[in-house]
Amino acid sequence: MEHVRRFVHENWLTLLVTAVLGVAWLILRTPATPLDSVAEFDARLRSGQPTLIEFYSNRCSICLASKPTVDRLEKQLEGRAVVLRVDVADPVGRELAARWGIAGTPAFIVTTGAGQPVYMSYGPPQVMELEVALAAARAQTP
């Protein structure tokens, strides 16, 4: 028991940082949009509303840091656009990432209501650019 006490006393800061990082990961990880198949993704993409697709990984630090921004954007877009979050670690997500030529995460694609891409970017979400692209997608959606 004394060796455990000594270990904790000598490593308290490391243990604290590890615990904080673990809790942060649990809070910031992005839940994927449940997709059973590529066909289901395609159907959602052609919903008649513009779509914002986020390709992400919960092992990507930029993706984790971007989650609050994408969450806010999703709430702002409610009723005006569909937001699909695709986890590239998921089998369907891997297939979709290959099909869309996704080279890294996070990646953002904006499509028209018919599923035609009008914008693509990598890295942290550029909210103003995404909003402009979504407005353009809305204008192209009948």
Secondary structure letter of residue 128 according to DSSP:
H
For residue 33, pLDDT beyond 90 = no
Residues 6+ apart with CB under 8 A from 124: 62, 65, 66, 69, 106
67-87: per-residue pLDDT in tens? 999 999 999 999 999 999 999
Write down the pLDDT at residue 31: 67
